[in-house]
Chain A
Amino acid sequence: MSVDKATVAKIASLARIQLDDAACDAMVPELNQILAWVEQLGEVDVTGVEPMTAVIPNQLRLRDDVVDADPLTGGGVREKVLANAPAPEHGFFGVPKVIE
């Protein structure tokens, strides 16, 4: 499979990356070279093989279903959460107007 400029523009939009015309043009052959190369995976007979989901067999743990089960990742740290926000406002993340 290969991509054309319209597809690259669509991917960029899905990925929320602004790409100008020239950048799209440049990306087409780059992506196609990589996609042509990964195409060889199609040769592999994967009949009856399940896709890998865990690289090392491991039981996923559940934390206790209570507030602040782990204080280190729990709440009550608003100042810290907002410390690196580009536009904090009144204790919230500020964003441009979403609804007219």
Chain B
Amino acid sequence: MTNLTDLTVAAIRKGVAAGEFTAVEVAEAFNANVAAASELNAFIVATPEKAVEAAQAVDARRARGEKLGKMGGVPIGMKDLFATNGVQTTAASHMLEGFVPQYESTVSQKLWDAGAGMLGKLNLDQFAMGSSNETSYFGNVISPWRRNDGSNADLAPGGSSGGSSSAVAARLCPAATGTDTGGSIRQPAAFTGITGIKPTYGRCSRWGVVAFASSLDQAGPMARDVTDCAIMLEAMAGFDPKDSTSLDLPVPEWEAGLNADLKGKKVGIPREYRMDGMDPEIQKSWDDGIAWLKDAGAEVVDISLPHTKYALPAYYIIAPAEASSNLARYDGVRYGLRDLPEGAGLQDMYAATRADGFGPEVKRRIMIGTYVLSAGFYDAYYNQAQKVRALIARDFEKAWAQCDVILAPTCPSAAFGLGDKTSDPLSMYLNDVFAVPASLAGLPAMSVPAGVNSQGLPLGLQIIGKAFDEQGVLNAGLAIEQRAGFTARPEKWW
């Protein structure tokens, strides 16, 4: 019999609909993989009963001859940043340990309505702040990948959606939700040889998603291939009156629109992304991608995004500024942790609660955000960064006069080892150098696996598209996927 946990979202949905296997059989197979993979620490909470319950409902609908939904019978992992009714939602923080939402986030509700079931809540960087999943209060997530040199060093699954990437790569779930503020879907996807797309800002509702930086936060799917991302994104996206920045646009049929023929399309190669001292293996993978897109019929053009080098510093003002404001809500009064020292007043309670409830990286970012927004520094830092952000968006606008999509590496390197960058926050931040510009401009961007490096670790290629043109991004991604022939998978050691 087919190993059900090797199947893609599309194959599971098809098999369940055709009666080749039941949704409950699929859920149980993935539940078993989740239970056997505690060493990866990908899940904060497993919810096998939820997965089975949703699967039973799908099987019952099939028995009645009803339609099964876009995600009918597909169990998924839910990043623990999405509020799930009755299931602990922590944002991987001590602050929200034990917090049980009384409501369901819009995106997760849409997925359940589409026939998906929940395998559990996935680990992440605390409040989605990190690039290696080493800031979680619930411990590091370990990548299922290992270098081929026999060293057995634990590698980072990327961040902040590190539980999502590790779980999909290790076949603990066929797909998972992610969120991307400055690369948090694309970088972990690249590190673990999977596919992930951040749609245009506003496509997926932010309602019920624990806020990090509201002008940047976007949810998106992480799965094994481009088709699965298209399917799941359709189920996640859509207008939501409860999110003031939700796009009031119909959800396109991205899956039906998939087409890897790029004749007549122009692919821009941004010269500023060719950085001094670039890893030759990353350069080679980028060159491979260019050749594949040419082979798919696209014309390749050189473009310039002159403000690229300023994207990351602008991001590290804007995102912490928004975070310092968003995270002001954790005060020990309404929900979450309360630390009330003996005889303390209200102000002392706030300060003690926040000292205890936030990890070091979260505190660092709140402190930076507080500083750049404080009287006397607002113009020099925050306003300047928002002006530079406008210039970065303008760079992309100009580029779209010359091309339809942009191809670049997702990350400057393959996965690094756990602990390699924790002592130097700046070197960790620099890992998102290629991901952040599209975030600042709110553009759809995806990472697809392009091959493995000499250490046997996956490398990702990034496609950035025009606002609202997820289809163009997915199509270019599909063209790469079909030519990259990426079949590598981590050998099971856990």
- B245 sits at the interface (CB 8 A): yes
- A65 sits at the interface (CB 8 A): no
Binding-face segment, B70-78, B95-103, B171-179, B230-238: B95-103
Q: In the bound complex, do residue B441 and residue A55 qualify as a contact, i.e. CB atoms below 8 Å apart? A: yes
Q: In the bound complex, do residue B99 and residue A55 qualify as a contact, i.e. CB atoms below 8 Å apart? A: no
- Residues in B neighbouring A53, C-beta threshold 8 A: 386
- B487 sits at the interface (CB 8 A): no
Map CB proximity to B onto A43-73 as digits: 1 under 8 Å, 0 otherwise.
0101001111111101011010000001011
Given A3, A19, A34, A70, which contacts B316 in the complex, CB threshold below 8 Å? A34
What is the size, in residues, of chain B's interface with A at 8 Å between Cβ atoms? 72
- Residues in B neighbouring A60, C-beta threshold 8 A: 244
- Residues in A neighbouring B216, C-beta threshold 8 A: 55
Q: In the bound complex, do residue B393 and residue A96 qualify as a contact, i.e. CB atoms below 8 Å apart? A: no
Q: In the bound complex, do residue A34 and residue B333 qualify as a contact, i.e. CB atoms below 8 Å apart? A: no
Q: In the bound complex, do residue A31 and residue B371 qualify as a contact, i.e. CB atoms below 8 Å apart? A: yes
- B338 sits at the interface (CB 8 A): yes
Question: From residue B276, how far is it (CB to closest CB) to chain A in Å?
Answer: 16
- B26 sits at the interface (CB 8 A): no
Given B101, B244, B351, which contacts A61 in the complex, CB threshold below 8 Å? B244
Q: In the bound complex, do residue A18 and residue B352 qualify as a contact, i.e. CB atoms below 8 Å apart? A: yes
Chain A interface mostly: loop
Known A15-B324, A70-B241; contact A41-B317, beta-carbon cutoff 8 A:
yes
Q: In the bound complex, do residue A84 and residue B99 qualify as a contact, i.e. CB atoms below 8 Å apart? A: yes
Residue of B nearest to A27 (CB): B367
Of the four ranges (under 10, 10 to 19, 20 to 34, 35 or more), the interface on chain A belongs to: 35 or more
Residue of B nearest to A79 (CB): B102
Question: From residue A81, how far is it (CB to closest CB) to chain B in Å?
Answer: 8
Between A and B, how many residue pairs show CB distances below 8 Å? 167
- Residues in A neighbouring B388, C-beta threshold 8 A: 41, 44, 46
Q: In the bound complex, do residue A49 and residue B387 qualify as a contact, i.e. CB atoms below 8 Å apart? A: yes
Binding-face segment, B128-136, B139-147, B358-366: B358-366
A5 to B348, CA, bound (A): 20
Residue of A nearest to B390 (CB): A52
A40 to B381, CA, bound (A): 11
- Residues in A neighbouring B333, C-beta threshold 8 A: 85-86, 93, 95
Given B316, B377, B440, which contacts A1 in the complex, CB threshold below 8 Å? B377
Residue of A nearest to B357 (CB): A17
Binding-face segment, B262-270, B279-287, B306-314: B306-314
A37 to B442, CA, bound (A): 24
Map CB proximity to A onto B360-380 as digits: 1 under 8 Å, 0 otherwise.
000110111011001001001
- Residues in B neighbouring A3, C-beta threshold 8 A: 371
Map CB proximity to A onto B421-455 as digits: 1 under 8 Å, 0 otherwise.
00001100000000000001110000000000000
- B347 sits at the interface (CB 8 A): yes
A87 to B393, CA, bound (A): 46
Question: From residue A78, how far is it (CB to closest CB) to chain B in Å?
Answer: 11
- Residues in A neighbouring B358, C-beta threshold 8 A: 17
A14 to B348, CA, bound (A): 12
- Residues in B neighbouring A80, C-beta threshold 8 A: 102-103
A70 to B106, CA, bound (A): 14
- Residues in B neighbouring A50, C-beta threshold 8 A: 387, 390
- Residues in B neighbouring A17, C-beta threshold 8 A: 351, 354-355, 358, 363, 366-367
A44 to B392, CA, bound (A): 11
- Residues in A neighbouring B351, C-beta threshold 8 A: 13, 16-18
Known A46-B391, A86-B338, A96-B346; contact A33-B426, beta-carbon cutoff 8 A:
yes
- B227 sits at the interface (CB 8 A): no
Map CB proximity to B onto A2-13 as digits: 1 under 8 Å, 0 otherwise.
010001100111
- B349 sits at the interface (CB 8 A): yes
- B186 sits at the interface (CB 8 A): no
Question: From residue B8, how far is it (CB to closest CB) to chain A in Å?
Answer: 31
20-49 of chain A: CB within 8 A of chain B: 27, 30-31, 33-35, 37-38, 40-42, 44, 46, 49
Given B310, B352, B425, which contacts A34 in the complex, CB threshold below 8 Å? B425
Given contacts A17-B367, A44-B391, A96-B344, 4 further A-B contacts (CB under 8 A): A51-B387, A52-B386, A55-B215, A96-B349
Q: Could you write out 14 A-B pairs with CB less than 8 Å apart?
A: A1-B380, A7-B371, A11-B370, A15-B367, A16-B328, A16-B351, A35-B371, A38-B313, A44-B307, A44-B388, A50-B390, A54-B245, A56-B467, A96-B340
